[in-house]
Structure 1
Amino acid sequence: MKIAVFGATGATGRLVVVRALEAGHEVRAMVRDRARLPISHERLHVVVGELADQGAVDATVDGRDVVISALAGSARQPACTDGVRAILAAMRATSAVRLLVVSAHGAAESRDRSPYVMAVRTLLSAKMRDKDTMETLIRQADGLRWTIVRPPALTHSPRTGRYRVGTELKITLASRISRADLADFLLRAAAEDAYVGQAPRIAA
C-alpha cells in the first residue's frame, strides 16, 4: 500500500511509520522538523511542512491508498481538529477515501459515566474536546471510508500482536495498550480494509 502518515514524529506515529516500512508499504510522512523523524528508508518519503500549509498536506495525501492520522498535540494546543480538517480537504482534492485516525475512548458517543471516562475527561478535558470535534468532522465527510480507533491509556511496551478489539469492548481504569500494538492494529485494519465506518476500541 501507499500510505500517508500524519503525526509521524509523535510516539505513536513514529511506530506507525516503522511498522509500515517493516510490512513492505510505501510511506509518505508529513513532519514539521525532519530531524525529529530519524528514519531513512528507500520507501520513506518525507514532506516537511505545517498543517496550516494546505499545499504540503495535499502533497502528502496525493496518490495515497490510505491516510493514517496519529496527531495529538499538547494539552495546551491540541492538534486533532485542525489537522484532520486540513487532511479532509486534501482527501477531497485528491479523491482519497480511506482514513484511519487515533482518537481516544471517552470521545464523542463513547463518553459515559464510567470511572475511566470521567477521569480522562477531567484530566485531559481540552484534548478530549478536540477529539470530539475531530470525530464530528470525520463522520460528516461525504464518501469517506473512515475508521476511528479509540485506545485507553498508552504505554511504551513492545509490540506483542496480541490485543482485543471491538466496538463494545469494555474499557476500565486498568486498561492499557502499547503504542506499538496500536500501530500494528492501524496497519492491519488498513490492509484488511476493516472496521470501515466504525469506532473500535482496543486494549491488551
Structure 2
Amino acid sequence: MRQSDSKLSRLVVLGATGGTGRAAVDVALRAGHEVTAVVRREGALPPAPGLTVVLIPDFTEADRLAAAIAGHDAVISALGTTARGPVTVCTVGVRAALLAMSRTGVRRLVAVSAHGAAESRDRSWYSLLLWASVGHKMRDKESMEALIRASGSDWTIVRPPALKDTAPTGRYRTGSDSVVRLTSAVSRADLADFLVREAVEPAYLHQTPRILA
C-alpha cells in the first residue's frame, strides 16, 4: 500500500541481496519510497521503478558508501552471512555505515540483530541452542550492537527470533516484553514491513524491540 506523500522517504538498504534485505526493498518500493540498495555483486538485483542499485564490493571504500548514503532519510541494515566460522560482516558494514552517516548528516539507522544478543541472551533453550549453533554470528551481532549504541545516530536495533521465508501476516507483535520461546519465529516479510515502518516513523528510538508472529 502506498503511504501518503508526506511520509515518503529516501531509504538506503544494506544487505539488500539477502532474504531480509530483498524483502525490505520490496516493502519500501511498494509503499512508494525511493530506495538505494547497496550490493556487492553486479546484477544482484533486477531494476525496478524507484530503485537505485549501488555496487560497493568492499565497505572500506568509505567515499563510495558516503556518496550512496548522502541525501537519504534513513539507513536500514539487513547485513548478514551464511559463512561458517568467525565472521565480521555486520560489524564491518555497520562501522562503515556509521562513519558515512556521520560524514553526510544522515542520522536514522534501523539495524537487524537477533534475539539472544547482548542483554537479551538468557538461559532459555532458545538462547542456549542459538549460541551453540551460530555463536560466531552472534558475536558479530554483539560487536555491531556495541558500535551502534556508542554512536550518535538515531538508532533502533531490531531483534527477531528465527526467520521464515513465508508470506506476510501483517499480524506481528513488537516490543521488549514478548517472551521468545524455542519455537518462536517470524516471517522475513513481516520483519521487513516493521523495518521500513520503523525507519520512516520511529516508534522505538534508542530501543531494541523484538518482533514475534
Correspondent of 1:41 among 48, 57, 76: 48
CA distance in 2, matches of 1:197, 1:75: 31
Shift of 1:169: 1.3
Shift of 1:7: 0.1
Shift of 1:78: 4.0
Worse-matched range after superposition: 46-55 or 19-28: 46-55
Verify: 1:112 aligned to 2:122, yes or no: yes
- Paired position in structure 2 for 1:172: 181
TM-score by length of 1: 0.96
TM-score by length of 2: 0.92
1:94-133, aligned counterparts within 5 Å?
94-133=104-143
CA distance in 2, matches of 1:168, 1:81: 27
Q: Does the CA contact (< 8 Å) of 1:115 and 1:173 recur in 2?
A: yes
Correspondent of 1:29 among 25, 28, 37: 37
SS, match of residue 35 in structure 1? coil
- Paired position in structure 2 for 1:189: 198
Deviation by residue 1:73-130 (Cα, 9 ceiling, x = unmatched): 2333341000000000001000111000000000011111111011101100110000
Worse-matched range after superposition: 88-97 or 42-51: 42-51
Correspondent of 1:141 among 142, 151, 156: 151
Correspondent of 2:209 among 179, 200, 203: 200
Verify: 1:5 aligned to 2:27, yes or no: no
Identity of aligned residues (%): 51
Q: Structure 1 unaligned segments of length 5 or more: list them.
A: none
SS, match of residue 36 in structure 1? coil
Q: Structure 2 unaligned segments of length 5 or more: list them.
A: 1-8
Worse-matched range after superposition: 173-182 or 71-80: 71-80
Verify: 1:159 aligned to 2:168, yes or no: yes
Shift of 1:132: 0.5
Shift of 1:147: 0.4
Deviation by residue 1:17-52 (Cα, 9 ceiling, x = unmatched): 0110000000011101132212x1231111101212
CA distance in 1, matches of 2:134, 2:112: 15
> How many residues are paired up?
202
